[in-house]
Amino acid sequence: MTTSPIQKVADHTPHGVARKIRGLSDRAIAWIFVAPTIFLLLAVNIFPLIWTIRLSFTNFRVNRPNKDVEWVGLRNYERILNDPDIWNTMQATAHFLIWTIILQVLIGFTLAYLINKKFKGNDLWTTIIVFPMMLSPAVVGNFWTFLYQPQIGLFNYVVTFFTGGDPADFSMIGDVRLAPWAIVIADTWMWTPFVMLICLAGLRSIPDSIYEAAECDRASKWRQFWTITIPMALPFLMLAVLFRGIENFKMFDLVVQLTGGGPGNTTTLTSIDLKREAFEKWRTGYSSAYAVILFVTVFGLASIYVKALNKVKER
Amino acid sequence: MSFSVTEPTNGTKWFAGILVVAYAVITIIPLLWIIATGLKSPADSISYPPVVVFEPTLEGYVNLFTDRTRATEDMLEEAGPPQTWYEEIARERGTIISGPSRYGERFLNSVIIGFGSTALCMILGTAAAYAFSRFRVPLKDDLLFFILSTRMMPPIAVAIPIFLMFRNLGLNDTHLGMILLYTAVNLSLSVWLLKGFIDEIPIEYEEAALIDGYTRFQAFYKVVLPQAATGIASTAIFCLIFAWNEYAFAVLLTSGTAQTAPPFIPNIIGVNGKDWPAVAAGATIFLVPVMVFTVLLRKHLLRGITFGAVRK
Amino acid sequence: MKTKMMITVAAGAILASGLSTAATAEDLTLCWAAWDPANALIELSKDFEEKSGHNMSFEFVPWPSFADRMLNELNSGGELCDLMIGDSQWIGAGAENGHYVKLNNFFDANGISMGDFIPATVTGYSEWPKNTPNYYALPAFGDVVGWTYRKDWFERPELQSEFKEKYGRELGVPASLDELKDIAEFFQGRDIDGTTVYGAAIYTERGSEGITMGVTNALYNYGFLYENPDKPYDLEGFVNSAGAVEGLEFYKELYEVGTPPGSSNWYMGENIDAYRSGQVAMQMNFAFIWPGVEADENVGGGKSGYFPNPAGPSGQFAQLGGQGISVVSYSQKQDAALEYIQWFAQPEIQAKWWELGGYSALNAVVEDPSFATSQPYAQTFLDSMAIVKDFWAEPAYADLLIPMQERIHNYVIAGEGTAQEALDGLVRDWVEVFEDEGKI
C-alpha cells in the first residue's frame, strides 16, 4: 500500500501551506465525488437485484395479479438446478462464450500488434475496422440473418466463391451443427474491434526504452515478444477478456434477432431462456431464481478472475 | 533525425499494412451491404440471387420517413397528382403517403437519451474515478468490484423490478428514466476505464498545484481534468456506443414516448412485408452520429488509449 | 376494373343510433401490431377523428415483441392503450385477469349483434369462455392461414406435362396435403428461367409462435385434437393420437423435401420475401399478405393464385389468425374508446376497411354478392374462414405455446427424437401447465 497522496503532500509541504490547502477536506470531496455514483447504482442496480432475490423465493407471477403470492422457499432453485434443459442452455452459452473470446482475442491482438507497427495510414484503417462495433446489436443480428440466407444473402455466395460448390449447399442458421458457429461469427465480426482497441492501448503503453534495452542485450524479436510484449500487455488483454466475457454471458439482442434460439434449442443462450421464462411464461418467481443463479455464477467467476487480474497488474 | 531500434523496418510495415487492410476490407463488406441495401428497390433488396449492381433509388429512405397506405382508385383520384418527388416514389407503388413515420421521433429519442446519459455518465464517472484513484476511500477494492458487478446482471433479469419501480416513480417510458438507467449501466465501465487513465496522471502535478495554493477541487478541475481529457473522450465513445445501441431495456421499458430507434429499426414494415431497404436506410442513418462522433474523437480514441505511456 | 362495395342499407340501420359527439375531445391510443393492416387502419381512422372530434394515436409494436410488450403493459395495469387489438389467444387472460372491459351491455345498448359477424371470428376473437355469450372484443381483423402459389409456373405446359407423367394427375391446386407435398417436391431444386427454385415456404420460426401456427395446419387435418371433446383438459390420446403423430411426421417430411435450404426460422416476413423474390412455388401464410401479393411487381397482377389449406385424412381445417378490438379496463377514456368501437362496427366503415386491405369479419361485408369476386383472393378467404381452428386461448396460452414451439422445432427442424416422443413430451408439458393452473 502506498501512503495516501494527501499524506504525501502534507509530508512535503511546509506547515503553513499545508494548513491552507486543506480547505474542503479530502474526505468530504471523496464522498461528494463517489456518493452520486454509488447512489445511482444502488437505486438502479442493487435495489432491483434485492427485489429479484426476494421474488425468487415466491411463486409470484406478473400475469396473475389476482393470485395470492406464496413463499415457496428454495423450490424454484431446486426445480432449476434439476432441469436438464438449463444445463443445455448453459452449454450453448459456454460454447458461445469460449469461442467468441478465443477468436476475438486472437484476431484482436494480432490486429493491434500489426497496427502498432505504425505503417502509413494505420489510423484511417483502424477507424474503419472499428465501425462494426458502432452498430446496434439488434440491427446486426437482424442483418446477419439476411446475410446468412442461402438464396438471397451474401455470406454463402462469398464463401462458395472461395471454396467452390453451390451456395444452397449449406445453411448457417438452419443447420444444428452450423448455427452455434453462425452466432460466434456474427459476434466476432462485431466485437473484435473492441478487443483490438484495448490491446492497442496495452501495446502502446509499453515504453520503447524497454525494447531498446532488450535490443542492447541482443534479445531476438521472438524473445522480446514473449518476454516483453505479452507480459506487459497481459493486464489489458485480461481486461478485454473480462469485459467480453461479461457482455457475452448476458448476450441477448444479437442472438435473439439472429436465430431466435434455434434450430431447436441449439442457440438458446441463458439470457434467451431467461427471457422466455420471465416475459413469455411470466413465471416471475421462477425466473427471478434463475436470474439469481446466473448472477451468482458470473459474479463468482468474475471475482476469481479479477483477483487474478489484480495479481498480474501488481507484478 | 533520430534513429530508433524499435522502429519497424519498411518490410514489416508493408506486411502489417497489407494484413490490416485486408481485414478492414473484409470486415467492411457487411456494412457496405447494409448501406447498399438502403439504396435498392424492395425487389432488388431481396433479389434471388443477390445483385451487386443495381439502379439506386431513394425509395428506402422515403419509406423510412413516411407511413403509406395502399390506395384505392378513389383515394388516388381524390389525392390528385403527386406534388413532391417523394410522393411520386410512393405513387409508383400504388400507395399514398398518409403521414410521417415515427422514425424521426425515435431517432430524436436516441439522441436525447444516448448523449444525455453519456454526458451524465462522464460527469459522475470522472468524479468517482478521481476519488478512487486519489483518496483512501473506505472499502475501496470492494466498492470497485461492486461497481463492476452491477454490469454482470443480465438486463432481462432486472427488467421486471425496474419496470415496476419506474412505474411507481413515474419514470416509465420517459427520457429521464432511460437516461438514468443507461447511466447506471455504463458507470461501471467508465469508472473502471477512467480510473486507469487518472492513475496514470502523475500525482506530482497536483501536488505542485496544491502547493501553489489551489484547493483540492481546483486541482482536480484545472490540473487533472485537462490531462484526463483524452481518456474521458475515449471512455465517452464506449458509453455512447452502448447507450445508443441498447435494445433489451428499450424494448421492454419504452413504448410511445421514449422509445429509441434500435427496437424500431429491425421491424420497419412496408406495404408488403418487411421493408428491407427502409430497414437498411434506418440502420445507415442511425450509424451516422456515432460514426461522426468517433471519427471526430479518433485522435483522442487512439491517443487516449495510449495514455499509460509511463507506468509505475 | 374495380368493384365498388355495395352494402345493404338495412344493415346500416345500426347507424341510426349515430355517433354521439362527446363533450370533450379525447386523445385515444390504439395498440396493435406493426404490420401492413395497421397502416390501413390509420387511414381508416381519419374518418373517426373527423366525425367524433377525438384524436387517435397509434402504438404499433413489431410482431416478435408484440405479445411481450403488450402483455407486460396489461399485466402492470398500464394506461398506455385505451384500445387494444390483441391477439386472439390473449382473450382468456384479458377476460380472467380483468384487462379487457366486458362488452355485452355496450353491444346490447348500441344494437351491435355478434350474430352479424362471421361465427368463427366471434368464437375466436371475442368470447371467453369459448362458446358462451360473454364478449370481450369486437372482431376487428379476420385472418387465417392459407396458401399462395405461382399460377404462372403452374400453367407452363412443359411443367404440366412433366408433372402429369410423374404423378398421373394435373398440376393444379392440391386437393390434399399429400398432393401439396408432391407439388412441393416437384418444384424443389427445379431450374426455372435460370434460377433454382424450391417447393414451398412454410412456417418454421422458433422464437415466438411461427412453427406452431404452421404445423397445426397439418396436425388438425391428420386428427390432432387439443383435448377430449367430452372431457376438457383430457389430453392423452388426443394431442398425441396416431393421427397427430402422422401429421407431425408429414410436416417434417414437407420441410425436408420441399422447402428452401436455410428456411429454418421463417415466419410471415421471410415467407413473403422468399415468395416475392421467386424462390418458391408456394407459400404458407396468413391471409393479410394477399393484398400485397396482388399488388407486387414480380408476383402480382394475376401471376399468383390462392387456395385454402388442403384437407388431410381427418378433415380440412386451417389455423386461425386475426384479432378482436377490446377496450382496456385501465383506460381513463373508456367512453371515447367505446365510441371508436361503435364507429368501427358500422357496415360502411367495415366495407371501407375491406377495400383498404383490412379483412372485415362482418357478415354484411363478406356475404355481399360482389364480395367473392371483388378480389382474386376473396373467395379463398371465405372458404378458409369456414374451416378455422385456433390454438389454446387459455389465460396460460403463452405457457402452452412455449413448449409446443420447443418440442416441434426440436423434432421438425433440429431432427431430435421421433414425432411420438415430441407429442408425448408436449402432453407432459401441457398437463403440468394445467395442473399449475388448477384446471386439472
CA of A177, closest CA in chain B: separation in Å?
Answer: 23
User: Any chain B CB within 8 A of the CB of C295?
Assistant: yes
Distance CA B267, CA B247 (A): 13
A167 to chain B, closest Cα gap in Å? 10
Mean pLDDT of C380-400: 91
| C76: chain B residues, CB-CB within 8 Å | 163-164, 167
* Residues of chain A found within 8 Å of residue B247, distances taken between Cβ atoms: 136-138, 252-253
Distance from CA of B82 to the nearest CA of A (A): 33
pLDDT 10s digits, A108-119: 999 999 998 888
Q: Please answer yes or no on whether A284 and B160 come within 8 Å at the CB atom.
A: yes
Does residue C65 belong to the interface with chain B, where contact is any CB pair within 8 Å?
yes
| Chain B residues with beta carbon closer than 8 angstroms to that of A48 | 158, 161-162, 165
d(CA B197, CA B226): 12
CA distance A23 to chain B (A): 6
Which of residues 124 through 143 in chain B touch A, CB cutoff 8 A?
A: 124-125, 127-128, 130-132, 134-137, 143
Nearest to B50 among A154, A189, A197 (CB): A154
Q: Is the minimum CB–CB distance between C421 and chain A shorter than 8 Å?
A: no
Neighbours of chain B (3+ CB pairs under 8 A): A, C
Give start and end residues of each alpha helix (H) in chain A: 5-12, 15-22, 26-41, 47-55, 75-81, 84-115, 122-130, 137-148, 155-163, 179-204, 208-216, 221-224, 230-249, 253-258, 270-279, 284-314
Query: What is the share, in percent, of chain C residues with pLDDT greater than 70?
Result: 95
| The predicted structure's pLDDT at residue B305 | 52
Contacting B residues, span 246-285, partner chain A, CB-CB under 8 Å: 247-248, 252, 261-263, 265-266, 276, 279-280, 283
Per the prediction, chain C carries an average pLDDT of 90
Which of B145, B210, B241, B244 has the highest number of chain A CBs within 10 A, making it the mutation to test binding with A? B210
**pLDDT tier, C11 (very low <50, low <70, confident <90, very high otherwise):** very low
Omega of the bond prior to C129 within 30 degrees of 0, cis?
yes
Chains contacting A with at least 3 CB pairs below 8 Å? B, C
Is there a contact between A63 and C71 (Cβ–Cβ < 8 Å)? yes
Question: C30: distance to nearest CA of chain B, Å?
Answer: 11
Q: Does C256 touch chain A (CB under 8 A)?
A: no
Nearest residue of chain A to residue B251 (CA atoms): A253
The closest CB to that of A119, out of B16, B146, B283, belongs to B16
pLDDT for residue B274 is more than 80: no
Q: Is the pLDDT of residue C374 over 60?
A: yes
Contacting residues for B163 by C-beta, under 8 A, at least 6 apart: B172, B252, B253, C72, C76
Q: What is the dihedral of CA A257, A258, A262, A263, to 10 degrees?
A: 150
The whole-number pLDDT of residue A85 equals 83
Q: Which residue ranges form the domains of chain A, and what is each CATH number?
A: 82-314 (1.10.3720.10)
- The separation between CA A25 and the C-alpha centre of its own chain, rounded to angstroms, equals 38
Provide the pLDDT for residue B96: 82
Structure confidence by residue, pLDDT tens digits, A162-184: 888 888 888 898 888 999 999 99
Distances (CA, A) of A103 to A187, B48, B294, C23, C41: 10, 32, 25, 66, 49
> Smallest Cβ distance to B265: which of A44, A132, A139?
A139
Per-residue pLDDT band for A14 (boundaries 50, 70, 90) equals very low
Tell me the pLDDT of chain B averaged across its residues. Answer: 83
Contacts of C430 in chain A (CB under 8 A): none
Asked if C414 and A263 come within 8 Å (Cβ–Cβ), the reply is: yes
Which of A33, A90, A144, A192 to probe the B interface (max B CBs under 10 A)? A33
The phi and psi torsions of C239 (rounded to 5 degrees) equal: -65, -40
A61 in Cβ contact with A285 (< 8 Å)? yes
Collect all residues of chain C within an 8 Å Cβ-Cβ radius of residue A276: 402
> Distance between CA C24 and CA C41 in Å, rounded?
23
Q: DSSP 3-state assignment of A127?
A: helix
In B, residues 45-104, which contact A (CB 8 Å cutoff)? 46-50
Please list every residue in chain B whose beta carbon sits closer than 8 Å to the beta carbon of residue C42: 67, 69, 98-99
Task: Please check the confidence at residue B309 and state whether its pLDDT lies above 60.
Answer: no
Amino acid at B112: I
Q: Which C residues 31-60 touch B at CB under 8 Å?
A: 34-36, 39-40, 42-43, 57, 59
| C-alpha to C-alpha distance for B149 and B144, rounded to whole angstroms | 9
Q: CA of B286: which chain A residue's CA is closest? A: A135
Per-residue pLDDT reduced to its tens digit, A238-283: 888 988 898 898 899 899 889 888 888 889 999 999 988 888 888 8
Tell if the CB–CB gap between C416 and A171 is shorter than 8 Å. Answer: no
B104-309: which CATH number, 1.20.1730.10, 1.10.3720.10, 3.40.50.980, 3.40.50.970? 1.10.3720.10
Tell me: pLDDT of B5 over 80.
Answer: no
Residue contacts between A and C (CB atoms, under 8 Å): 103
Q: Which of B252-261, C116-125, C196-205, C306-315 has the lowest mean pLDDT?
A: B252-261
Q: Vertex A179, ends A173 and A182: CA angle to 5°? A: 85
Contact B69 C63 (CB under 8 A): no
Residue C292 has its nearest CB partner, among B99, B251, B271, at B271
Highest averaged pLDDT of the listed ranges A118-122, B88-92, C137-141: C137-141
- Which chain A residues are Cβ-neighbours of B154 within 8 angstroms? 249-250, 252, 270-271, 274, 291, 294-295
Region class of A260: left (phi > 0), else alpha (psi between -120 and 50), else beta: left
C224-245 tens-digit pLDDT: 999 999 999 999 999 999 999 9
Asked whether the predicted pLDDT for residue A4 surpasses 90, the reply is no
Prediction ipTM score: 0.83
Identify the closest residue of chain B to A129 by CA–CA distance: B24
CB contact under 8 A, A151 and C77: no
Tens-digit pLDDT profile for residues C341-371:
999 999 999 999 998 889 999 999 999 889 9
pLDDT digits (tens, 9 = 90+) for A47-98: 888 888 998 999 888 777 677 788 988 999 999 999 888 888 999 999 999 9
Contact B263 C291 (CB under 8 A): no
A148 chain-C contacts, CB cut-off 8 A: 262
Domain ranges of chain C: 12-143+321-382, 145-319
- Predicted confidence at residue A121, as pLDDT, reads 84
Chain A contacts in chain C segment 261-280 (CB below 8 A): 261-265, 273-274, 277, 279
Give the model's pLDDT for residue A10. 46
- Any chains having at least 3 CB pairs less than 8 A from chain C are A, B
CATH architecture observed for domain C145-319 = 3-Layer(aba) Sandwich (3.40)
CB contact under 8 A, B46 and C356: no
Q: Per residue, what are the HEC states of chain C?
A: CCCCCCCCCHHHHHHHHCCCCCCCCCEEEEEEEECHHHHHHHHHHHHHHHHHCCEEEEEEEEHHHHHHHHHHHHHCCCCCCCEEEEEHHHHHHHHHCCCECCCHHHHHHCCCCHHHECHHHHHHHHECCCCCCCECCEEEEEEEEEEEEEHHHHCCHHHHHHHHHHHCCCCCCCCEHHHHHHHHHHHCCEEECCEEEEEEECCCCCCCCHHHHHHHHHHHHHCCCCCECCECCCCCCCCCCHHHHHHHHHHHHHHHHHCCCCCCCCCHHHHHHHHHCCCEEEEEEEHHHHHHHHHCCCCCCCCEEEEECCEECCECCEEEEEEEEEEECCCCCHHHHHHHHHHHCCHHHHHHHHHCCCCCCEHHHHCCCCHHHHCCCHHHHHHHHCCEECCCCCCCHHHHHHHHHHHHHHHHCCCCCCHHHHHHHHHHHHHHHHHHHCCC
* CB neighbour list of residue B90: distance below 8 Å, 6 or more residues apart: B62, B66, B68, B82, B96, B97
Give CATH superfamily name and number for C12-143+321-382.
Periplasmic binding protein-like II (3.40.190.10)
Q: Is C289 on the interface with B (CB under 8 A)?
A: yes
Which SS3 state, helix, strand or coil, does residue A50 take? helix
What is the greatest pairwise CA distance in chain C? 72
Distance to chain A for C406, nearest Cα, Å: 6
Decide if C72 touches A, using CB distance below 8 A. yes
Q: What is the pLDDT of residues C87-97, one digit of tens each?
A: 988 999 999 88
A55 Cβ contact list (under 8 Å, min separation 6): A284, A285, A288, B160, B161
How far B34 CA lies from chain A's nearest CA (Å)? 8
Could A265 and C414 be called an inter-chain contact, meaning their C-beta atoms sit closer than 8 Å? yes
What is the location of CATH 1.10.3720.10 in chain B?
Answer: 104-309
Average pLDDT, chain A: 84
